Structure 1
Amino acid sequence: MYKLIIIYDKIQKIKEGDILNEDIIVAIATSRLEAAISMIRISGPDCIAFVQKFFTGKILKKSTHTINYGYIVDEGKRIDEVLVNIYRGKKTFTGEEMVEINCHGGVYITSQVLNVCIKNGARMAEHGEFSKRAFLNGRIDLSQAEAISDIITAKNSYATDLALKGITGNISNFIEELKEDLIQIITQIEVNIDYPEYDDVEELTASSLLPRSKNLLKKMDKILNDSKNIKLIKDGIKTVIIGRPNVGKSSLLNALLQEEKAIVTNIAGTTRDIVEGSISIDGIILNMIDTAGIRKTDNIIESMGVEKSKELIHQADLVLLVIDGSVKLTDEDKQLIELTKDITRIIVINKADQEIKVELQGVNISAKDNNIDTLVSEIKRMFELGSIIDNNDHILTNARQTMLLQHANHSLKQAIEAMEMYIPTDLIVTDLYECWSNLKEILGEKAKEDLLDELFKRFCIGK
């Protein structure tokens, strides 16, 4: 335990030396285009008094969350007629005083108001600095900051719903639950280390530590499994169209994209390079890739396209294997069916406008006639992204969060293995500390400081 006390002392010294933000930052918060209104955001200590220097309205004694009318002036000259919102206290977005100037939306006039702010001593905010200050001042944790970025860049309603859950603290609350479970385990071990006469190690492990640890691991496994499809929600489904030459792959791409993006001819091997495009189907984004027809060929350029097509099959989230339904299956068709049997795929039987001669389970379409409704329905059924959001309150929103929880999961598994081998608890606790550290890092918090606070608060260790 003395090691923890040393670490705690070091952390206290670091905390005493912390320096708060002392400067005032400013930025245009709306798009830099002609519009009815533009907003300039200002944040920092005493920024209300700062704005009063060049604003004619009286705001020094006004209450927080009020809107005030007046003019922005520069050396006595009126620059613009504006409304100024003021926010006091630590419950603002950034956790410090804030002002928002609502001016007319012209590009020129907005820049003039911004220049007045800078001329009087504010500095231009860096990218994301308002959210960064909110994080540093404890208004949001790191997962919520990432969710703010996610909602701005959301490409569909699913990504928006996911980001809103992150902003409202769903991830934070779940991580706090995991931390609570873990601190109970660590605290029990620390007490046993300091007071070994209280519990038999094997009995303690079997009766308390193992059940709690396995239950915690089960919770981690569930959220990791539920979060697998997040990339599909946010970035779209990488969809590769494959098939032998002249089965209608390019026609299918054009039908899905509703534009003539790929060249369509009766000549086999026309598509020799990769053709790409994106489509949204009821909010599901498909990043489409039309590949070269897969067949044996002596043409060097075409053969390079064929090899690239085979590589893309294993990189895809979804493979659309196109079969010409107007003729019987060829050996090349059968090879592609075998090649993709363990991959997420839909077998698309094209040329349904003709007599179908293929007995194969799949969806029938006619790409030439844009008759692809059955395929669209199957894609929607296969990727029920909406149900993922609706049925799961706790979903990690990005690769950083997932990686850290995977690390925490791995450390906990190592601790459980050590428990099952009845390794001394003072060695087991090392892996549990590592698990704790990764959980805290998801929220961007100082792991060791928080751990010590919890330990000292719950037990008078060394009393």
Structure 2
Amino acid sequence: MERSTIAAISTPPGTGGIGIIKISGPSALSIGNRIFHKKGLYGQSSGDQPGHGAEFPFQSHRFYYGHIIDPDTSHPIDEVLIVFMKSPTSYTREDVVEIHCHSGHAALFAILNLVLNSGAAIAQPGEFTQRAFLNGRIDLTQAEAVMDIINAKSRNALDIAATQMRGELKENIQAVRNELLKIQVLCEAFIDFPEDMDEDYKTGDTLVQIQTRIEKPLQELLVNYESGHIIREGIKIAIIGKPNVGKSSLMNRLLDKERVLVTDIPGTTRDMIEETLNIHGIAVILADTAGLHHTDDPVEAMGIKKTDEYIKNADLVIFMKDASESVDENDHRIYEKIKHKKHIIVRNKIDIAVTQDPETRRHEDEIDISVLRNTGIKELKQKIFQTVAVDATVETGHKIVPNIRQKKMIEKALGHVSDAVHGIKGGAFLELVVLDIKDAVESLNQVLGISVREDVQKKIFDRFCIGK
């Protein structure tokens, strides 16, 4: 069934040098012809005017300079470059036209409206990539890699996404899937022609094949996930402590910019503020949180509740104390919240610290800092990296790291493979072993998108922005 022609602005909103409108589908070229005019603003003859039946002879994958003109009024809209990409050598494997204009709100939407009025429908989030998937240009792992490339917060995260975009995860999964299908055929041969098969091969060689060619590669992917998902998704770090210990000031120091409002009034931070920092190639998502203490202020209490929830999901907690004050009951309560999580304890205001007071230091590995004087900040950054790098040891240029959806499907496949192995070892009916193998194949099909439910597909592509 022929799909409709879709269009959208493919560049982020805002003022800039270049904005791109993308059109994909059977009418892309005719729409481009209707509104693009190569010969100056007004042309030399009515036959050259857009909308008058003359078609410009576009060559595929070649840029042309000209103007977008409203075909109904002959009013010029903008000076543009336009490129036509003929099916199937385009991102979607459909006819695609891209219009590169000036990136201003008025120009972009004026051109988009002309495109829509000429017969295109507005694209849904991720619909261009979804068409690339449905038309067989990429598989589902590569489609998800597109989103990872867009969202990559560090070079290492980009390397992981690029590896997946090149199809290396697909190739690994396909290789394992092919081995499963071979074993399925072998088991079915035992069922149909038992007298012609070697009984020893049924258990010995088959089990070795499963363990070396199926279980081991899948287990390696799961190991890569544990070390690599942190690089892809970033490290979530919560900066916590009592009110007015300098949490917002520390966040500003780590970011090297004034991102958070800082005052001497305790409780200024009512809601969490997140910003991303890159430390040695690892994306660190810092969260400045509300000060933890007892309060009767309902708004402040809501902020503290959010802080407690964020602490539970954080990969690392920076617990900030005030070195100018003795440790109190509030500090003890905060430490009890985070003592079983990965954490770093810092003492701020060391420049005005209570001299040699043991009550200001309860842990030997505390880091002394002064946010005001920028003392100890470099050491803290290094400590953060050392703490999180243990969980991010993957060699990104050479490793294939599945995402959480793919990981769950791989785990399901491994479970079915394990059931098949137990069945073979225990002398189960091979018909039951074949069912386990088929279930494992189906789980890998879900990874690749060979068979994936429409609601799952929608959930994946809805994560994309409109225009991609």
TM range (shorter): 0.7 to 0.9
Report the secondary structure of 1:288's partner residue: strand
Report the secondary structure of 1:192's partner residue: helix
Question: Aligned partners of 2:402 and 2:233: how far apart in 1?
Answer: 14
Aligned runs of 1:54-65 on 2, under 5 Å? 54-57=35-38, 61-65=57-61
Match of residue 203, structure 2, among 201, 206, 220: 206
Match of residue 393, structure 1, among 395, 399, 424: 399
What displacement does 1:118 show?
2.9
The verdict on how the C-alpha distance between 1:421 and 1:108 changes in structure 2, with shifts beyond 3 A counting, is: same
Q: Which amino acid aligns with 2:29?
A: I
- Please name the residue that 2:456 is paired with: none
Report the secondary structure of 2:446's partner residue: helix
- Please name the residue that 2:21 is paired with: 40
Moved more, 64-73 or 252-261: 252-261
What displacement does 1:75 show?
4.1
Report the secondary structure of 1:319's partner residue: strand
1:278–1:287 CA contact under 8 A, matched in 2? yes
Question: Aligned partners of 1:407 and 1:262: how far apart in 2?
Answer: 49
- Please name the residue that 1:417 is paired with: 422
Question: Aligned partners of 1:82 and 1:334: how far apart in 2?
Answer: 64
Aligned runs of 1:351-370 on 2, under 5 Å? 352-353=350-351, 354=353, 355=355, 357=358, 358=361, 360-370=364-374
Which structure has more RCO (C-alpha within 8 Å, separation ≥ 6)? 2
- Please name the residue that 1:68 is paired with: 64
- Please name the residue that 1:285 is paired with: 284
Question: Aligned partners of 2:37 and 2:289: how far apart in 1?
Answer: 62
- Please name the residue that 2:74 is paired with: 77
Q: Which amino acid aligns with 1:139?
A: R
Post-superposition Cα deviations, 1:365-389, rounded to whole Å, max 9, x if no partner, equal 3345332221111111222387535
Aligned runs of 1:234-273 on 2, under 5 Å? 234-242=232-240, 252-253=250-251, 255-256=253-254, 259=258, 261=261
Q: Which amino acid aligns with 2:370?
A: S
Segments of 5+ residues of structure 1 without an aligned counterpart are 1-18, 448-463
What displacement does 1:247 show?
6.7
Q: Which amino acid aligns with 1:208?
A: D
The verdict on how the C-alpha distance between 1:53 and 1:263 changes in structure 2, with shifts beyond 3 A counting, is: closer
CA RMSD of aligned residues (A): 3.8
Moved more, 401-410 or 248-257: 248-257
Report the secondary structure of 1:419's partner residue: helix
The verdict on how the C-alpha distance between 1:289 and 1:27 changes in structure 2, with shifts beyond 3 A counting, is: closer
- Please name the residue that 1:11 is paired with: none
- Please name the residue that 2:96 is paired with: 98
1:375 aligns with 2:380: yes
Report the secondary structure of 2:313's partner residue: coil
1:24–1:44 CA contact under 8 A, matched in 2? yes
- Please name the residue that 1:178 is paired with: 176
Moved more, 128-137 or 152-161: 152-161
2:251–2:286 CA contact under 8 A, matched in 1? no
Aligned runs of 1:3-22 on 2, under 5 Å? 19-21=1-3
Question: Aligned partners of 1:213 and 1:442: how far apart in 2?
Answer: 19
Report the secondary structure of 1:369's partner residue: coil
Question: Aligned partners of 1:70 and 1:298: how far apart in 2?
Answer: 64
The verdict on how the C-alpha distance between 1:37 and 1:305 changes in structure 2, with shifts beyond 3 A counting, is: closer
The verdict on how the C-alpha distance between 1:341 and 1:200 changes in structure 2, with shifts beyond 3 A counting, is: farther
2:416–2:440 CA contact under 8 A, matched in 1? yes
- Please name the residue that 2:314 is paired with: 316
Aligned runs of 1:80-159 on 2, under 5 Å? 80-159=78-157
Question: Aligned partners of 2:73 and 2:318: how far apart in 1?
Answer: 68
Question: Aligned partners of 2:15 and 2:334: how far apart in 1?
Answer: 54
1:444 aligns with 2:446: no
1:428 aligns with 2:425: no
Report the secondary structure of 2:318's partner residue: strand
Post-superposition Cα deviations, 1:220-240, rounded to whole Å, max 9, x if no partner, equal 222122213555434432323
What displacement does 1:94 show?
0.9
Q: How many residues align?
A: 421
Question: Aligned partners of 1:317 and 1:393: how far apart in 2?
Answer: 22
- Please name the residue that 1:221 is paired with: 219
Question: Aligned partners of 1:438 and 1:212: how far apart in 2?
Answer: 19
Report the secondary structure of 1:68's partner residue: strand
Question: Aligned partners of 1:374 and 1:364: how far apart in 2?
Answer: 9
Q: Which amino acid aligns with 1:214?
A: Q
What displacement does 1:136 show?
1.0
Question: Aligned partners of 1:263 and 1:71: how far apart in 2?
Answer: 53
Moved more, 400-409 or 129-138: 400-409
Question: Aligned partners of 1:187 and 1:331: how far apart in 2?
Answer: 68
What displacement does 1:334 show?
7.4
Moved more, 383-392 or 83-92: 383-392
- Please name the residue that 2:464 is paired with: none
Report the secondary structure of 2:431's partner residue: helix
2:237–2:284 CA contact under 8 A, matched in 1? no
What displacement does 1:121 show?
2.4
Q: Which amino acid aligns with 1:390?
A: T
Identical amino acids, percent of aligned pairs? 30
- Please name the residue that 2:43 is paired with: none
Question: Aligned partners of 2:304 and 2:84: how far apart in 1?
Answer: 62
Q: Which amino acid aligns with 1:394?
A: I
Q: Which amino acid aligns with 2:130?
A: K
The verdict on how the C-alpha distance between 1:279 and 1:34 changes in structure 2, with shifts beyond 3 A counting, is: closer
Question: Aligned partners of 2:131 and 2:288: how far apart in 1?
Answer: 41
1:28 aligns with 2:27: no
Moved more, 192-201 or 130-139: 192-201
Match of residue 403, structure 1, among 405, 408, 414: 408
Q: Which amino acid aligns with 1:146?
A: E
2:423–2:433 CA contact under 8 A, matched in 1? yes
The verdict on how the C-alpha distance between 1:40 and 1:333 changes in structure 2, with shifts beyond 3 A counting, is: closer
Question: Aligned partners of 2:25 and 2:347: how far apart in 1?
Answer: 63
Question: Aligned partners of 1:326 and 1:98: how far apart in 2?
Answer: 65
Moved more, 88-97 or 302-311: 302-311
Q: What TM-score, normalized by structure 1, do the two folds share?
A: 0.75
